[in-house]
Amino acid sequence: MGEPLRSVPAMNHDSYPDNYIRGILNTVKSIAMVGASEKENRPSYFAFKYLLERGYHMIPVNPGHAGEMMLGQRIYARLTDIAESVDMVDIFRGSQYALPIVQEALKLKPRPQAIWMQLGVRNDEAAALAEANGLKVVMNRCPKIEYGRLSSEIAWMGVNTRTISSKKATIGGIQRMSLSRMSVPGGATEAADRVQREEGGH
């Protein structure tokens, strides 16, 4: 027997409410990034490293580098090679590849909770298929940017707001910056200093 379908309301994929994005980023623990690159100058590398450092269990998927390691994580050739559960599939490939990736994601047991397509990646057919099978979908957004914006680490344009969350969220025993709206002015705190150092290094 197949898994029962979960009801997911139809989304307007031109604009997402913050609570929808926040709900996904606060809930998922493991993220498989399809198209992850070991090259340090690639956007997928920066996004992978950022999310890894924020406590997510990151799983790189890239058939050209299967069996190699990326930031301490084993690279898989395809989603179906991953033996552990995947909460979210992050698609870092062209829009034309999104549908077959979603089709493969639906073969995973248990199925992922969400499909996330990176900036510039949109495939409405793939989104409709995922939603019809109970998965949440985000398109044309970067989880790194959304996390930074919602956690007040960075503002939308990437400028340090000098604010940090007033509380940390503990997910799966991992301390992670809260994505709640509550924030307080940042002073000489370790988190604020770390963000400043990271921004200063770019």
CB proximity list for 178: less than 8 A, separation 6 or greater: 151, 165, 166, 167, 168, 169
Domain end point (choices 143, 160, 181):
143
Domain end point (choices 99, 117, 143):
143
pTM greater than 0.85 (yes/no): no
CB proximity list for 94: less than 8 A, separation 6 or greater: 121
Rounded CA gap, 144 and 114, in Å? Answer: 16
Examine the domain organization and report whether 33 and 113 are in the same domain.
yes
How many residues appear in the chain? Answer: 202
Average the pLDDT over 97-106 and give the result.
Answer: 98
Examine the domain organization and report whether 96 and 138 are in the same domain.
yes
Residue 3 in any domain: the answer is no
Range of the domain at 35: 18-143
Examine the domain organization and report whether 30 and 53 are in the same domain.
yes
pLDDT digits (tens, 9 = 90+) for 127-141: 999 999 999 999 999
> 11 falls in which pLDDT band (50, 70, 90)?
confident
- Would you state the pLDDT for residue 79? 98
| Residue where the block lists tokens 């099978």 | 133
Examine the domain organization and report whether 121 and 185 are in the same domain.
no
Residue 12 in any domain: the answer is no
Asked if the model's pLDDT at residue 40 lies above 80, the reply is yes
Q: What is the CATH number of the domain that holds 25?
A: 3.40.50.720
- Would you state the pLDDT for residue 151? 87
Examine the domain organization and report whether 129 and 32 are in the same domain.
yes
Examine the domain organization and report whether 192 and 175 are in the same domain.
yes
Asked if the model's pLDDT at residue 15 lies above 70, the reply is yes
Which tops the pLDDT comparison, 40 or 188?
A: 40
Examine the domain organization and report whether 32 and 78 are in the same domain.
yes
Sign of CA dihedral 177, 178, 179, 185: negative
